[in-house]
Amino acid sequence: KPRGTGAPPGGGAEASTLPSPATPTSVERPSAPEATRVDGASAVGLDGERRPLTVVCCAFTASGPSLRNIDVEEIDDLLGEQQDVCAEIARRHRGRFAGALGDQILLHFGYPSAQEDDARRAARAALEIVADVRARSARLQATRGLSLAVRIGLHAGLVIAGQSQGYTQHLGTTPQIAARLSALAAPGTVVVTDDAFRLLRSRFMFEQETSRDLSHADRPIAIYRMGQEISPATQDRSTAGRDTEPLIGRSQELDLLLQRWSQVRQGIGQSTLVTGGPGIGKSRLTWELARRLQGEWHSCLECRCTPDRRNSALHPMIELLDRLIDPGQDDAPGRRLARLEALLSRRGFDLEETVPLLAALLSIPLDGRYAAPLDPPPRQKERTLNALVTMLFDMAEERPVLFMVEDLQWADPTSLEWLGMMIADVPSARIMALFTARPEFSPPWSTSGMLQIQLGRLDRSHVEHMVARLAGGRSLPAPVLAQVVDRTDGVPLFVEELTRMVLESGALVDKGDHYALSEPISALAIPTTLRGLLMARLDRLGRAKETARIAAALGREFSLEVLSAVSTLDGELVQEDLDRLMAADLIHRKRRLNNPTYQFKHVLIRDAAYESLSKRSRRQVHARIARTLEARFPEIVAARPDLLAHHHAAAEQKQQAIAYAEAAAERALKRPANADDTEAVGHVTQALGWLSAMPDGRERALAELRLNSLLILALLDRRGYMPRELSASVKRCQELSDELGDSPMTAPTLWAMFMYHHMGSHRREARALAERLLAMATRSQDTGQLISSMLLLGQCLLCEGKLAEARQRLDGVVALYDPPAHREHAFTYGIDSKVCAQYTLALVLYLMGWPAQAFAQGEAAVAWARELDHPNSLGMALLHLAGVYHYGREREKVAAVTGSLIQLTEQHHLWFKELCWAMYCWARGDLDQLRRRVETIREGGQKANFPYWLSLVAELQAERGQHEAAVEQLAACLLLAVESGDVYYMPELYRLKALSLHACGADAEQESERCFRQSIAIAREQGARTIELRSTLAICRILVRQGRRDEARPLLGEISGWPVDYANLPELNEARALLQEVTV
List the single range of 304-308, 465-469, 681-685 with lowest mean pLDDT: 304-308
User: How many other β-carbons are positioned within 10 Å of the β-carbon of residue 500?
Assistant: 17
Q: Cα 614 to the chain's mean position, in Å? A: 25
pLDDT at 34: 32
pLDDT at 721: 52
DSSP 8-class letter at 1058:
-
Q: Which amino acid is at 521?
A: I
Same domain, 468 and 449: no
Mean pLDDT of 554-578: 93
Same domain, 781 and 892: yes
Q: Rounded to 5 degrees, what are φ and ψ at 365?
A: -60, 145
pLDDT digits (tens, 9 = 90+) for 1061-1072: 666 777 888 888
- Smallest CA-to-CA distance from 657 within 648, 670, 665, 666 is with 648
pLDDT at 999: 94
How far apart CA 842 and CA 52 sit, in angstroms, is: 73
Higher-pLDDT residue of 660 and 50 is 660
Last residue of a domain, one of 229, 261, 295: 229
| pLDDT exceeds cutoff 80 at 17 | no
pLDDT digits (tens, 9 = 90+) for 1020-1054: 999 999 999 999 999 999 999 988 998 988 898 88
| pLDDT exceeds cutoff 50 at 612 | yes
Q: Is residue 155 included in any domain, yes or no?
A: yes
Last residue of a domain, one of 229, 244, 263: 229
Measured between alpha carbons, how far is residue 459 from residues 232, 491, 529, 1047 in Å?
A: 21, 9, 20, 97
Q: Is residue 611 included in any domain, yes or no?
A: no
| pLDDT exceeds cutoff 90 at 157 | no
Mean pLDDT of 904-919: 89
pLDDT band at 214 (very low <50, low <70, confident <90, very high): low
Q: Number of helices (H) and strands (E) in the chain: give both, helices first.
A: 45, 19
* Whether the Cβ atoms of residue 50 and residue 614 lie closer than 8 Å to each other: yes
Same domain, 849 and 987: no
Mean pLDDT of 879-899: 95
- Smallest CA-to-CA distance from 791 within 775, 765, 772, 770 is with 770
Q: Which amino acid is at 114?
A: A
Same domain, 324 and 409: yes
User: How many other β-carbons are positioned within 10 Å of the β-carbon of residue 728?
Assistant: 10
Q: What is the CATH number of the domain that holds 1061?
A: 1.25.40.10
| Widest pairwise Cα distance in the chain | 146
Same domain, 771 and 873: yes
List the single range of 96-100, 618-622, 929-933 with lowest mean pLDDT: 96-100
Same domain, 747 and 884: yes
pLDDT at 532: 63
Same domain, 375 and 277: yes
DSSP 8-class letter at 35:
G
Q: Is residue 346 included in any domain, yes or no?
A: yes
How far apart CA 202 and CA 205 sit, in angstroms, is: 8
- pLDDT, mean over the chain: 84
- Is the torsion defined by CA of 113, 114, 119, 120 positive or negative? negative
- Is the torsion defined by CA of 136, 141, 146, 148 positive or negative? positive
Higher-pLDDT residue of 838 and 248 is 838
Higher-pLDDT residue of 692 and 4 is 692
Higher-pLDDT residue of 70 and 885 is 885
Residue 672's SS3 state is: coil
List the single range of 130-144, 158-172, 352-366, 437-451 with lowest mean pLDDT: 158-172
Last residue of a domain, one of 229, 258, 287: 229
Same domain, 140 and 288: no
pLDDT digits (tens, 9 = 90+) for 458-504: 898 998 888 888 888 888 888 888 877 876 768 787 787 778 777 86
Q: Is this prediction's pTM over 0.85? A: no
pLDDT band at 35 (very low <50, low <70, confident <90, very high): very low
Q: How many folded domains does the chain comprise?
A: 5
Mean pLDDT of 89-97: 91
Burial of 816 (0-12, 13-18, 19+ CB in 10 A): middle
* Whether the Cβ atoms of residue 674 and residue 381 lie closer than 8 Å to each other: yes
Mean pLDDT of 902-908: 89
Q: Which long-range contacts (CB under 8 A, 24 or more apart) does 1044-1047 make?
A: 1045/1078
Return the beta strands (E) in 345-501 as ranges: 401-406, 431-437, 451-454
Q: What is the CATH number of the domain that holds 352?
A: 3.40.50
Same domain, 471 and 425: no
Same domain, 774 and 741: yes
How far apart CA 553 and CA 650 sit, in angstroms, is: 9
Higher-pLDDT residue of 89 and 440 is 89
Same domain, 720 and 868: yes
pLDDT digits (tens, 9 = 90+) for 799-831: 999 999 999 999 999 999 999 999 888 877 778
pLDDT at 676: 53
pLDDT digits (tens, 9 = 90+) for 715-756: 766 555 554 667 788 888 888 888 888 777 677 788 888 888
- For strands 221-229 and 189-193, give the pairing: antiparallel
Q: Is residue 297 included in any domain, yes or no?
A: yes
Task: Categorise residue 769: left if φ over 0, alpha if ψ from -120 to 50, beta otherwise.
Answer: alpha
Q: Is residue 745 included in any domain, yes or no?
A: yes
How far apart CA 865 and CA 877 sit, in angstroms, is: 7
pLDDT at 242: 35
Q: Is residue 390 included in any domain, yes or no?
A: yes
Residue 1033's SS3 state is: helix
DSSP 8-class letter at 529:
S
Same domain, 752 and 831: yes
pLDDT digits (tens, 9 = 90+) for 63-87: 777 666 677 677 777 778 888 899 9
pLDDT at 219: 59
pLDDT at 886: 96
pLDDT band at 548 (very low <50, low <70, confident <90, very high): very high
Q: What is the CATH number of the domain that holds 172?
A: 3.30.70.1230
Q: Is residue 339 included in any domain, yes or no?
A: yes
| pLDDT exceeds cutoff 80 at 40 | no
pLDDT digits (tens, 9 = 90+) for 166-183: 556 667 788 889 998 998
pLDDT digits (tens, 9 = 90+) for 622-678: 999 999 999 999 999 999 999 999 999 999 999 999 999 999 988 887 664 445 567
| pLDDT exceeds cutoff 90 at 335 | no
Mean pLDDT of 20-33: 38
pLDDT at 239: 29
* Whether the Cβ atoms of residue 140 and residue 148 lie closer than 8 Å to each other: yes
Q: Is residue 602 included in any domain, yes or no?
A: no
Higher-pLDDT residue of 27 and 409 is 409
With a pLDDT cut of 70, the percent of the chain lying above it is 86
pLDDT at 567: 93
pLDDT at 1060: 60
Domain that holds residue 1060: 945-1079
pLDDT at 525: 36
Mean pLDDT of 873-901: 95
pLDDT at 725: 66
